[in-house]
């Protein structure tokens, strides 16, 4: 069971159903299921989804992994490759034990000097590759922070990323800026590895699964320009942090991408379909509202409740945003639920959670209903005040409605469930 406080949260039949759907979603996206199903090595043939690669045609095989959950995916691929793997380099926020791959425990959501040193070391090791080299790149969400070599100083990079995270900008806008500050994003890694054969195994955390946005698209040709980055900067409160001379154009030459295969092996659609099947098994009419939902977290929950019809379950995947104005703690999933319960009725239960188990705090997200609101009244808590101060974490700590899973080796965006009976 993924939810450590399942029993404490499952105080109504409706809550229990919602929590069971979370368990179903998380089970469907774990590395063991994903890699064992989609990646196979038999004799000298590597098969990823429906793509086949002849390992005997390469002199050396390298593996690079980065993102939240990339270490587990990389370890499982390392096991399948066995002695065919020459060497590898992986960075993740959560550790894994490897046989041959060199592992670094990095930081997320902000980059650190450790992250930058990892990338610079990797770039130094993987130089002068040839067409007879194969590089497997294992990417999961969170790679933008974990995999970085920047044009600006470390202190300035952290300041920029901190401002981005608080800006309320969506992931596409943030990563447009990040690409043009980086040596490896926006196809920069593909340019460095050229002319080697690159096979990128991608688990998406981006609504809509735009491969150029996931981890800022290190092996994908970038269509955005410096002008696009400057336009995205206008949304920042501290737009003065980045000057035009800090930005560099991403690689545009086709030759760097002609020998690259980018393969999407996982997205939130997997989890949404698994939850839909489970909900229908439990006797509910279930529908997927969107797999690329984007909205203001504080307003989104109430809007989704209105979209849900009686005796049904609405399922949503995506990533909301919070423009931080207060001084509290919490994450966008907790903010969404907190905003939703302000006017919730006795027929509705809502939950929002981050699939990697970490909603900018030790809670993966939260579950809310009229019981939550009544508990807040008993404790003399004003939900609106907590919402205005961006302090959803303390609110749900006090009401006991935070979802605890611990960090998970999976990251396919946020998932939202609205049940109305």
**Which has the closest alpha carbon to 71: 93, 53, 45, 54?**
93
In CATH terms, the superfamily for domain 6-29+268-420 is MOFRL domain (3.40.1480.10)
pLDDT the model gives residue 275: 98
73 vs 75: CA distance, rounded Å: 6
- Per-residue pLDDT at 242: 87
Mean pLDDT of 207-212: 92
Assign domain 43-266 to a CATH class: alpha beta
Q: CATH 3.40.50.10180 in the chain, residues?
A: 43-266
Helix, strand, coil % (nearest 5) of the chain? 40, 20, 40
Indicate if the pLDDT at residue 151 is higher than 90: no
pLDDT digits (tens, 9 = 90+) for 337-348: 999 999 999 999
Cα dihedral 127/108/183/137 (nearest 10) = 40
% of the chain residues with pLDDT over 70: 99
Residues 353/26, Cβ–Cβ less than 8 Å:
no
Beta strands in 43-174 (DSSP E): 45-48, 51-54, 60-66, 87-92, 102-105, 133-139
Tokens of 391: 């302090």
Q: 18 by DSSP, 3-state: which?
A: helix
CATH 3.40.1480.10 maps onto the chain at: 6-29+268-420
Tell me the two tokens of residue 370. Answer: 């009229």
Quote the CA–CA distance of 65 and 75 in Å, as a whole number: 10
DSSP β-bridge partners for residue 285: 312
Secondary element (H or E) of residue 130: none
| 235 — pLDDT class (breaks 50, 70, 90) | low
Residue 238 has pLDDT above 90, yes or no: no
Question: Across the chain, which distance is largest between two alpha carbons, in Å?
Answer: 69
For 59-113, write each residue's pLDDT tens digit: 999 999 999 999 999 999 999 999 999 999 999 999 999 999 999 999 998 999 9
pLDDT of res. 6: 98
Integer CA distances (angstroms), 180 to 83, 160, 243, 293, in order: 38, 12, 11, 26
Asked whether the beta carbons of 70 and 89 are under 8 A apart, the reply is no
Residue 217 Rama label (left phi>0; alpha psi -120 to 50; beta)? left
End-to-end CA distance of the chain: 26
């Amino acid at each position: 069971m993924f939810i450590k406080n399942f029993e404490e949260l499952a105080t109504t039949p409706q809550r229990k159903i919602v929590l069971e759907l979370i368990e179903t979603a998380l089970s469907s996206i774990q590395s063991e299921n994903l890699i064992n199903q989609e990646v196979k090595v038999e004799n000298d043939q590597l098969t990823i989804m429906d793509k086949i690669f002849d390992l005997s045609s390469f002199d050396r095989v390298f593996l690079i992994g980065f993102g939240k959950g990339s270490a587990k995916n990389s370890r499982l691929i390392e096991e399948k490759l066995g002695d065919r793997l020459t060497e590898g380099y992986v960075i993740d926020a959560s550790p894994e034990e490897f046989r041959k791959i060199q592992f670094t425990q990095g930081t997320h959501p902000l980059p650190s000097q450790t992250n930058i040193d990892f990338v610079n070391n990797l770039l130094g090791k993987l130089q002068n590759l040839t067409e007879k080299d194969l590089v497997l790149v294992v990417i999961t969400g969170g790679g933008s922070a974990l995999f970085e070599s920047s044009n600006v100083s470390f202190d300035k990079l952290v300041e920029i990323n901190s401002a981005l995270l608080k800006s309320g900008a969506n992931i596409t806008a943030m990563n447009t800026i990040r690409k043009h500050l980086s040596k490896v994003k926006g196809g920069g890694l593909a340019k460095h590895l050229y002319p080697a054969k690159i096979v990128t195994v991608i688990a998406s955390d981006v609504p809509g699964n735009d491969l150029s946005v996931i981890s800022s698209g290190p092996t994908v040709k970038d269509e955005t320009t410096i002008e696009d980055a400057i336009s995205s900067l206008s949304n920042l409160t501290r737009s003065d942090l980045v000057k035009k001379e800090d930005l560099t154009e991403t690689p545009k030459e086709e030759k760097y991408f002609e020998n690259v295969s980018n393969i999407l092996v996982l997205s939130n659609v997997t989890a949404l379909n698994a939850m839909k099947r489970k909900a229908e098994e439990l006797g509910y009419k279930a529908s997927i509202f969107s797999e690329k939902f984007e909205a203001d977290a504080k307003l989104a929950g109430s809007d989704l409740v209105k979209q849900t019809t009686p005796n049904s379950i609405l399922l949503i995947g995506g990533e909301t945003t919070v423009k931080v104005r207060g001084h509290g703690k919490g994450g966008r999933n907790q903010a969404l639920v907190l905003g939703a319960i302000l006017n919730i009725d006795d027929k509705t239960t809502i939950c929002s959670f981050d699939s990697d188990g970490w909603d900018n705090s030790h809670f993966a997200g939260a579950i809310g209903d009229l019981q939550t609101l009544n508990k807040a009244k008993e404790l003399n808590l004003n939900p609106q005040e907590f919402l205005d101060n961006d302090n959803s974490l303390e609110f749900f700590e006090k009401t006991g409605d935070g979802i605890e899973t611990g960090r998970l080796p999976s990251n396919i965006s946020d998932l939202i469930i609205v049940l109305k009976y």
